Chain A
């Protein structure tokens, strides 16, 4: 199958916006991603701790509605994985690979990806959401905290990018 170029970003953005609007109308909530990881992590933490972390309000909030198998966001992220795979296959873009800058080896690239993921996890926990739950969904709802989060993400990204130039050159 020939590899097709990505869709025009504005067209894809309108499609993404309609998905978000559909989620608001049909489910009363926006999109999310980091929350699914938080939910699974909270369950693993509780079940691996002798006390069950029953005095930990953050963990207990995730355990309250019947476990991650009942968590909306876990199903949504399973859908994202399926949709991403489906779309990549259909476009001829599915390929085992490690995407990286030309001057970075595979090992360091994977380490940076893991470390970046861990730092984003902490950031998303503090912010109560990530680029999906806060920036996109909270942004469209005109939440003050979501716009503050979005501005902080871009500000820190642009501030740190020159120091990490080698990663992406």
Chain B
């Protein structure tokens, strides 16, 4: 545990650099995703997901990592659905998400700082308000549920479908952007 803060810091620095290099410190660029003006968010997110997913899949297939060491997150479908809807609403109001708000603030943006303060205020409210939503917050618990279990197929099938969908979407976006 003694070297953990150093590793966390290092991973964070790399994360911050990747986001900033992609232009994610600019709220207009992120908001543009929701007005079909700028698809950087989609391209960045899905090429990152595909890269990490394929990397993890092949490293595990080759026996170089034990996939059991990385815990599958637990699913609580109703609070996660409602949480996602609220998050999307806040995302368009701010133009930034929590990670990109940090990058924006660190590159001099006042709206990034205001978003960070808002996040803190919202989560402070959640800490005090938890007692009123506790049963609902912990309800609809499905445990560490994977897409493989939901659809009853092997991991390779899900990986293939996600890669194929992402590549098709990228091709479509590039075509759309050339034609305007």
CB distance from A129 to the nearest CB of B (A): 7
Q: Which parts of B1-36 form the interface with A (CB within 8 Å)?
A: 4-5, 7-23, 25-29, 31-35
Q: List the count of A-B residue pairs having beta carbons below 8 Å apart.
A: 515
CB distance from A6 to the nearest CB of B (A): 3
Contact B27 A99 (CB under 8 A): yes
Chain B residues with a Cβ closer than 8 Å to the other chain, count: 121
Contact with A along B71-99 (1 / 0, CB 8 A): 11111110111111111111111111111
Contact B13 A58 (CB under 8 A): no
Contact A99 B26 (CB under 8 A): yes
Taking a contact as CB atoms closer than 8 A, the residue among B13, B91, B111, B162 that contacts A99 in the complex is: B111
Taking a contact as CB atoms closer than 8 A, the residue among A13, A26, A75, A158 that contacts B22 in the complex is: A13
Contact B126 A121 (CB under 8 A): yes
Contact B108 A97 (CB under 8 A): yes
Contact with B along A17-35 (1 / 0, CB 8 A): 1111111111111110110
Cα A26 to Cα B20 with chains together (Å): 23
Contact A141 B107 (CB under 8 A): no
Contact A120 B118 (CB under 8 A): yes
Contact A130 B77 (CB under 8 A): no
Q: Does A98 contact B (CB under 8 A)?
A: yes
Residues of B within 8 A of A29 (CB): 70-71
Chain A residues with a Cβ closer than 8 Å to the other chain, count: 126
Contact B106 A79 (CB under 8 A): no
Residues of B within 8 A of A25 (CB): 59, 65
Chain A interface, DSSP helix/strand/loop, else mixed: helix
Contact A75 B77 (CB under 8 A): no
Contact A58 B119 (CB under 8 A): no
Q: Does B125 contact A (CB under 8 A)?
A: yes
Contact with B along A31-51 (1 / 0, CB 8 A): 101100110111011100100
Contact A143 B90 (CB under 8 A): no
Q: Does A145 contact B (CB under 8 A)?
A: yes
Cα A17 to Cα B17 with chains together (Å): 13
Taking a contact as CB atoms closer than 8 A, the residue among A87, A135, A137 that contacts B16 in the complex is: A87
Contact A13 B44 (CB under 8 A): yes
Cα A129 to Cα B52 with chains together (Å): 18
A-B residue pairs, 4 tightest by C-beta:
A79-B12, A117-B118, A121-B122, A17-B51
Taking Cβ atoms with an 8 Å cutoff, the residues of A that contact B are: 5-7, 9-10, 12-31, 33-34, 37-38, 40-42, 44-46, 49, 53, 55-59, 70, 72-73, 75-88, 91, 93-101, 106, 109-132, 134-161, 164-165, 167-168
